[in-house]
Each structure stands twice: as C-alpha cells, then as structure tokens.
C-alpha cells in the first residue's frame, strides 16, 4: 500500500516550535518511527509552506498509484478552499490529521474547511494522530471496515 504523508506550513519547524502543542521531535524522527510501525507500507513524505505546492502534490498522487493521503494542512486547514477543492477532486481517501486538538485552541482553529471532503479527521494525539491515520489505511486495505469517499 502506497501512502503519502503531506505536511503543510511550519511543520518543518517541529521540534523547535511551540513544544506544548507540537512536542519535541522533528518530523524526520517521527517519520522514521512511522515507517518502523508499518513496514508493509510504502510511505512517501512531502512538506511545503506554500499552498500551491500542496495542491500540486495532491493532484500528482493521481498519476503515482497512491492509495491514500495523510494530510496535516496545518494553518491552511482553516481557510484553504484551494486545498479543499484538490482533495474533493481526488479519487483516493484523504485522512486529515492534527498534532494538537484544534477544538481545544483558539476559535479560528475550530473550523476546518477540509474536513467535509476528507474520509475522517484525527486531532489531538500528537504524533499518534499520524499513526492512527495509517492504521486506518491498513484496516481499510484489509477490508475490515467500510469506507465511503465523501
Ligand atoms: C496543526 C494545527 C493548526 O491549527 C496549526 O496552524 C498548525 C498545526 C496541528 O497539527 O496541530 O500549524 O495542524
């Protein structure tokens, strides 16, 4: 199973950024751990601070035999209609993740414009949000639970 983990703006600063929300580890370390947890998955990783690059990367997955995307669109989750439209245009499921619990933070973070076009959202479990999303893809592939592309 080929899955893309896609991180948005400022997530390149993990480990150096607001530790109480985002923890101490950088994403390279988290990625290594995730690959260790899911050795059967082909996990590709992309991070960008720009909206257009994220839209491009989502579109490209169509030609690259990806079966799913784990997306932390970071601040763009709260206002990027372009990213929402790119997700809606794709055939493959996208799971929205956040390290912090966006509902326990400022009101502007309580709204995600991408949630409605994602298969589901996992928020507030730190790096485990990514692990849970990948687990769902694993179960989905094994046909253990149903899936509806919204
Ligand atoms: C985030 C939450 C967003 O509100 C914020 O803008 C981020 C990270 C998270 O992973 O908790 O940059 O997506």
- Assess whether the C-beta atom of 72 lies below 6 angstroms from ligand 1: yes
Residues for the chain: how many in total?
Answer: 150
Contacts of 117 (CB under 8 A, 6+ apart): 84, 87, 88, 94, 150
DSSP assignment of 91-132 equals: SS-EEEEESS-GGGS-GGGS--SSGGGSSEEEESSTTHHHHH
- Assess whether the C-beta atom of 99 lies below 6 angstroms from ligand 1: yes
Cα-to-centroid distance, 121 and ligand 1 (Å): 13
Q: Which pTM was predicted?
A: 0.93
User: Does residue 67 lie in a domain region?
Assistant: yes
Domain extent, residue 55, equals 2-141
Q: Looking at residues 57-75, what average pLDDT do you find? A: 95
User: Does residue 76 lie in a domain region?
Assistant: yes
Q: How far is CA 8 from the centre of its chain?
A: 9
Please give the Cα distance from 13 to 123 (Å, whole number).
Answer: 19
Number of domains in the chain: 1
Residue 71: give its domain's CATH number.
3.40.50.9100
Q: Ligand 1, from 7, 49, 98: best to mutate by most atoms within 8 Å of Cβ?
A: 98
pLDDT at residue 149 in the model: 54
85-135: per-residue pLDDT in tens?
A: 999 999 999 999 999 999 999 999 999 999 999 999 999 999 999 999 999
Report yes or no: 26 and 66 within 8 Å, Cβ to Cβ. Answer: no
Encoded tokens for 79: 């206002």
CA-based end-to-end distance of the chain: 21
Catalytic residues: 22, 98
pLDDT at residue 148 in the model: 54
């Amino acid at each position: 199973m080929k899955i893309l983990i896609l991180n948005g703006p400022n997530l390149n600063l993990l480990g150096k950024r607001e530790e109480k929300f985002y923890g101490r580890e950088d994403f390279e370390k988290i990625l290594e751990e995730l690959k260790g947890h899911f050795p059967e998955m082909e996990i590709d990783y992309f991070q960008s601070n720009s909206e257009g690059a994220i839209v491009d990367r989502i579109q490209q997955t169509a030609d690259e035999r990806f079966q799913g995307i784990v997306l932390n669109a970071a601040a763009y989750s709260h206002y990027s209609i372009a990213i929402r439209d790119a997700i809606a245009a794709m055939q493959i499921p996208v799971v929205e993740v956040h390290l912090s619990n966006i509902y326990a933070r400022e009101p502007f973070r309580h709204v995600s414009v991408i949630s409605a076009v994602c298969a589901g959202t996992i928020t507030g479990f730190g790096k485990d949000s990514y692990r849970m999303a990948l687990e769902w893809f694993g179960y989905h592939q094994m046909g253990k639970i149903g899936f509806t592309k919204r």
